[in-house]
Amino acid sequence: MKRGTKSMVPKGFSRRSVLQGSAAIGVASVIGGTLGLAKNARAQPANVHYELAIDFLDDARVYNGNLLGPTMRIRPGDTLDVDLINNLPALHDDCTDNHNQEHGLNTTNFHTHGLHVSPSTDSTGEFDADNVFVSLVPEDQIVACEEVCGVDVKTMFRYGSNRFRFELPDDHITGTFWYHAHKHGSTAVQVGDGLAGPLIVEDEPGVMPDYIEQAVERIFFVTNRGMMLVDEQGGGEMNPEITMRPGEVQRWRVINGTGNGTDFAFMRPNIANLEMHLIAFDGVTQDRRIPVDYEALDEPWFNPSALASGNRADFIVRAPSVAEPRDTLRSTNLSRVVDMPIKIEGAPVDALWSNEDTLPGRGAYPVRRY
CB of 194 to Cu ion, least distance (A): 15
Per CB under 5 A, 103 contacts Cu ion: no
Per CB under 5 A, 183 contacts Cu ion: no
Q: Count of alpha carbons within 13 Å of 178, Cβ hemisphere only?
A: 31
Give the separation between CA 145 and CA 155, rounded to whole angstroms: 10
Q: What are phi and psi of 331, to 5 degrees?
A: -110, 160
CB of 113 to Cu ion, least distance (A): 3
Q: Provide the sign of the torsion angle of the four alpha carbons 221, 226, 229, 230, taken in this order.
A: negative
Cβ distance to Cu ion smaller for residue 268 or 312: 312
Residue nearest to Cu ion (CB): 113
Per CB under 5 A, 113 contacts Cu ion: yes
**Which region, left, alpha or beta, applies to residue 100 given φ > 0 means left and ψ of -120 to 50 means alpha?**
alpha
Cβ distance to Cu ion smaller for residue 113 or 218: 113
Cβ distance to Cu ion smaller for residue 179 or 220: 179
CB of 114 to Cu ion, least distance (A): 8
Q: CB under 5 A: which stretch of 108-116, 207-215, 285-293, 294-302 binds Cu ion?
A: 108-116
Q: What are phi and psi of 78, to 5 degrees?
A: -75, 160
Q: Could you tell me if 193 and 108 are in contact, meaning their C-beta atoms sit under 8 angstroms apart?
A: no
Q: Is 231 helix (H, G, I), strand (E, B) or coil?
A: coil
Give the separation between CA 4 and CA 87, rounded to whole angstroms: 7
CB of 296 to Cu ion, least distance (A): 29
Cβ distance to Cu ion smaller for residue 113 or 183: 113
How many residues form the binding site for Cu ion (CB under 5 A)? Answer: 1
Cβ distance to Cu ion smaller for residue 51 or 130: 130
Cβ distance to Cu ion smaller for residue 71 or 250: 71
Nearest to 274 by CA among 316, 314, 239: 316
* Residues at the interface with Cu ion (CB under 5 A): 113
